[in-house]
Structure 1
Amino acid sequence: MVFIHGGSLQSGNSDQSGYAPTEQLARDTNTVYVSMNYRLQAFGFMALDILSKNSKTNTSGNYGHMDQILALKWVQENIRSFGGDPNKVTLFGQSSGGSSVMVLLASPLAKGLFQKAWMLSASPLLTKTSVGANIDNIVFLNNTNCNNITCLLQMSAHDVTQAVPWNEYPFWAMVDQLDLPVKGRLDGGLAIVDGYVLKETPFDAWVNGRSNDVPLIIGTTAQEIDFEGIPEELVNKSTYDAHVLRKLGSFGTDIARMALRLYPLGKESIRHQFTSMVSDVRVGCGNDIMALWAAVNTDSPVYRYVVTSVPSAPVSIFGMPQDTLLSFHAWDTFAFFGTMQEIMVRPSNNDIMFEANIRREIMSFVETGSPYSKDWLPFPESVVLLSDNTKVTSGYHSYQCDFWMQNGFFDYSWVN
């Protein structure tokens, strides 16, 4: 199994405590694990005409994905020496690592380098072209005060980072992605259709029969954004309503009022409803669309799950406050890795049962191409809710997702 870490294609590494395969995991699952570092941020994904003109491939950007492909080639050439089988490679990644899996499913350069894939909380949106990226990244070029390749290559790493347009369009900081969208505010896509790593969008590769056709599992969590808390002003129904109306009102009052009806306060807390709403808009519903396109246009099965398990006690991940109590971004990753003790004081029996369940389902998929639960049918015939047990359903938040997708909110899915 080959793991690609997340971090918005801008941060992270392959050996973060709790968020990487371990020796214990290898022993427990009798599997050889590989993780990788890859170029990030501007060093991994800056697309500029001035760079393309000085490239052997006449392209620029997607350097981080080239590194990932190189790592997969290394696995093919060397993994037998470590007890692995190059013909039984499962590629998996979380967050932007999951988005990277989508790229590699569509890339002709990754053909034959893996036989199964598992995407965890991926960004489903990848439509930026090299032409569009070159236009967007003029902001970066202007910030460097460079007008030739020699000047660019002589810049320090610090100066390159400082030149990135964090808070001006194309908004590399993406601070809005943990909140409801505002009409017209779109973040910068770092991965692009460059004509080399990606010759077409992943969705087009599926439709045109040019994707890497392998069994696939696509997973998200019910409250993806519940790891930084919610806006401080959301303290009662009045402030909840006002925030939703202010943000979604940019798409029309009817849209905002319908959203309040779809995610009403009552039995559920403000935090639960708000994080569920934003997570559906930004991640979950878009992943349903992605799963459908993959399922309809490939011969291999596509399986879809939503994690509904919640930690039994507050957790702290990636240096965030110890405040998370819902089904947060990466909860399935920590469970599979068996590293819950790294993020919470003492996992409960339910937490440990969730860990055992997700491992049972995933390792069956790794070994056989299908999950452990026999009634978990390929998408769209079923969607599974994963907790300490596996609950097979016909869909998750289907009515809400129909509303969001029919009103054009796929374009506001997480990017990167």
Structure 2
Amino acid sequence: MQVSRRTPSRSLPLSGRSRPASGPAVPPSRRRCPPASPRGMAGGRLGAALLATLAAGLLLACPAGPAAPDGGGGDAGADAGDGGGPHPDCPPASPASAELRIVAQGAVRGERIDGVLRWLGVPYAAPPTGARRFLPPAEPACFEGVYEATTWPPPCAQYDDASEAAEGEEDCLYLNVWAPEGADGTTPVLVFVHGGGNMFGSTSEIVGGVRLYDGEELARRSGAVVVTLQYRLNIFGFAVDAALDPLFPEGLSGNLGLRDQLAALAWVQENIAAFGGAPDKVLLFGESGGASDVCALVASPAAAGLFRAAAAQSGGCGGRNREEQRAWTDQVFSAAGCPPGPDRRDCVQGLDAATLLSAMAGLPSSGPTGLRIPQAGPTIGDEIVPIAPVDAFQSGAVATVPFVLGSNADETASALFGIPKNLGAAEYENMVRSTFRTRASEVLAHYPVSAYATPHDALVQLTTDLQFTCPTRRYARALAEGGGTAYRNFYTKVLDQRPATAALGASHGIELYLLFQALDRAGYPATEADRTLESALRGYWVSLATHGDPNAGDAPVAWPRYDAASDPYLELGDPIAAGAGVRSEKCDFWDTFQ
């Protein structure tokens, strides 16, 4: 990635905002960078010498020079709006091409691809490296020249189980933007938080042979601006330790991954108008671990005003226990050679990333019925997540935005959950008995192996209901009972045109191929029903961003607002249909375990 030199950064304020009565407001500009002005270009490139200078906070001179070359203006100057841009005392910038935009840090250049403009790897915060490891995110530095945003950012530091090696980089706090040509400042914005259990993943992740979260086709077909963001993961993103507490304004460490996401959302509010997006029409959506983060942010006072609506697919809203997270962090730090004591902070900040990741990977990680459970995620008990999100919903303690909560019919059929295909009946029964002990007979009565094609299918159904279907009902109920606006979905569409995808059923994450309009890129022979669902998903999401209501656009089927009494939902399947009660008998049973 070609990156211009940047000047020092500052810490980001992430609280103290208030949500207006209708729709989020753009927070005051945080920009302290000299104004970038693309006037006086030579050969279509912007030189650092053409950046205006500031001294003692006073504008000394506005840049002057000949007009930009013919054909270069496009509509980008008008798009800049209030999203960063040049200093208000200077004439508005007129980029030499639509690919060049002005943000708070300076000028950033992307590229045009068949009617869509894209900018890859734009920094929204300072690199959290060296002495900034385990610190809250700081403002990104100013650009000295044009920032070339044409390369995917590196994944955040993580451990790859397949290769048994650390990968990625700590300098990873970047986001990507796709905008349809013609985005005019009123265009809705879809901001995506990737999954991976807050342990792994990236915006450039390749799944099924494609970059699944590439927003190009979604921007093209939906007409929306699409943003994908990266955030610190695993021990780097969710460490809680007494040695780190003094590094945080409130004296409580943790939730760095969420703090990164808040910084990215604040950047979007300040700068998205430069790309033609409307800061008051932002939908925040995520899947899996990213959905858990979205749920935490919906309930977080620190996120007030940063998005108009939200959607969480296949994630949890319970939050992680702070003391358990502290114990996990202590295990990782100790295994890496940094025992508790006055030197622990310097020790963990001085280690190479691979040492910390290898120490983390050596710890056990499993949950009910032997499924792998990630150790990182939103942690309860600080200013970001004061109480469990589901409790915040139930109490009505936060002014939530309209919120979609969804799950898939066969979540744990995904290989991510490690349920063996050749599971035997006796092995299934033994697993249930060892997990549920005195209540195992009840569980087996609700999920008898004889009711399913295979023991594998029985365990998939059991664990899907236990970890996804029924918790989603609890979250939606809590939100509705607390006075919030909720919409529930249940995804059932199977990609049945190929044996490999058909065998997965409606598994964890499969809907992302349709949501990101990726079936064609994956070479999948989409059916008419697939196309209908692709179109419906993007339509519902754009309507949520634009109006805070999935039904305000051309909805093929009315999506019922959730109420706790009837458990209404929208089935995202073939066909798309509204219904009431998702596996109600099973969920009534699991509720007795609470």
TM over 0.5: yes
Helix, strand or coil for the counterpart of 1:370? coil
Structure that is richer in strand per residue:
2
CA distance in 1, matches of 2:503, 2:211: 16
Matched, 1:122 2:302: no
CA distance in 1, matches of 2:279, 2:313: 23
Preserved CA contact (<8 Å) 1:221 1:306: yes
Q: 1:145 to 1:231 in 2, by over 3 A?
A: same
Matched, 1:353 2:542: no
Alignment match, 1:336:
515
Preserved CA contact (<8 Å) 2:517 2:534: yes
CA distance in 2, matches of 1:274, 1:377: 31
CA distance in 1, matches of 2:395, 2:526: 46
Alignment match, 2:198:
9
CA distance in 2, matches of 1:142, 1:298: 45
Alignment match, 2:461:
276
Q: 1:26 to 1:97 in 2, by over 3 A?
A: same
Aligned 1:125-136 pairs, distance under 5 A: 125-129=318-322, 131-136=323-328
Alignment match, 2:405:
218
**Letter aligned with residue 219 of structure 1:** G
Helix, strand or coil for the counterpart of 1:76? helix
- Aligned counterpart for 2:223 among listed residues 18, 24, 30: 30
CA distance in 2, matches of 1:19, 1:259: 36
- Aligned counterpart for 1:304 among listed residues 467, 476, 488: 488
Helix, strand or coil for the counterpart of 1:119? strand
- Aligned counterpart for 2:304 among listed residues 111, 119, 123: 111
Alignment match, 1:414:
none
**Letter aligned with residue 94 of structure 1:** E
Matched, 1:201 2:201: no
Structure that is richer in helix per residue:
1
Residue segments in structure 2 that go unaligned for 5+ positions in a row: 1-189
CA distance in 2, matches of 1:74, 1:288: 33
Helix, strand or coil for the counterpart of 1:286? helix
Preserved CA contact (<8 Å) 2:235 2:329: no
CA distance in 1, matches of 2:529, 2:559: 22
- Following TM superposition, by how much is the alpha carbon of 1:143 offset from its aligned partner in structure 2, in angstroms? 1.0
Q: Deviations over 1:72-104 (max 9, x none)?
A: 000110111111111111100000110000110
Q: 1:227 to 1:135 in 2, by over 3 A?
A: closer
CA distance in 2, matches of 1:64, 1:4: 11
Q: 1:375 to 1:44 in 2, by over 3 A?
A: closer
Preserved CA contact (<8 Å) 1:315 1:344: no
**Letter aligned with residue 66 of structure 1:** R
Preserved CA contact (<8 Å) 2:237 2:257: yes
Aligned 1:243-262 pairs, distance under 5 A: 243-250=427-434, 255-262=439-446
CA distance in 2, matches of 1:404, 1:344: 40
Helix, strand or coil for the counterpart of 2:285? strand
CA distance in 2, matches of 1:53, 1:393: 51
Q: 1:329 to 1:315 in 2, by over 3 A?
A: farther
Question: Which range moves more in the overlay, 62-71 or 349-358?
Answer: 349-358
Helix, strand or coil for the counterpart of 1:123? coil
Q: How many residues align?
A: 387
Preserved CA contact (<8 Å) 1:126 1:189: no
CA distance in 2, matches of 1:266, 1:344: 37
Question: Which range moves more in the overlay, 367-376 or 104-113?
Answer: 367-376
Alignment match, 1:43:
236
Based on CA coordinates, which of the two structures has the bigger radius of gyration?
2
Alignment match, 2:346:
150
Give the % identical residues: 27
- Following TM superposition, by how much is the alpha carbon of 1:383 offset from its aligned partner in structure 2, in angstroms? 1.8
Preserved CA contact (<8 Å) 1:332 1:358: no
**Letter aligned with residue 312 of structure 1:** D
Matched, 1:399 2:399: no
Alignment match, 2:542:
363
Matched, 1:164 2:363: no
**Letter aligned with residue 251 of structure 2:** N
Q: Tell which has more relative contact order, 1 or 2 (C-alpha 8 A, sep 6+).
A: 1
CA distance in 2, matches of 1:260, 1:397: 16
Helix, strand or coil for the counterpart of 1:285? helix
**Letter aligned with residue 336 of structure 2:** T
- Following TM superposition, by how much is the alpha carbon of 1:105 offset from its aligned partner in structure 2, in angstroms? 1.0
Question: Which range moves more in the overlay, 191-200 or 329-338?
Answer: 191-200
Q: 1:116 to 1:327 in 2, by over 3 A?
A: same
Question: Which range moves more in the overlay, 381-390 or 243-252?
Answer: 243-252
CA distance in 2, matches of 1:23, 1:159: 36
CA distance in 2, matches of 1:194, 1:158: 29
Helix, strand or coil for the counterpart of 1:125? coil
Helix, strand or coil for the counterpart of 1:331? coil
Helix, strand or coil for the counterpart of 1:49? coil
CA distance in 1, matches of 2:274, 2:247: 38
CA distance in 1, matches of 2:499, 2:294: 27
Question: Which range moves more in the overlay, 185-194 or 218-227?
Answer: 185-194
- Following TM superposition, by how much is the alpha carbon of 1:402 offset from its aligned partner in structure 2, in angstroms? 1.0
Alignment match, 1:383:
569
TM-score by structure 2 length?
0.61
CA distance in 2, matches of 1:306, 1:194: 31
CA distance in 2, matches of 1:291, 1:360: 22
After the TM superposition, which parts of structure 1 deviate over 6 Å for at least 4 consecutive aligned residues? none
Q: 1:364 to 1:328 in 2, by over 3 A?
A: same
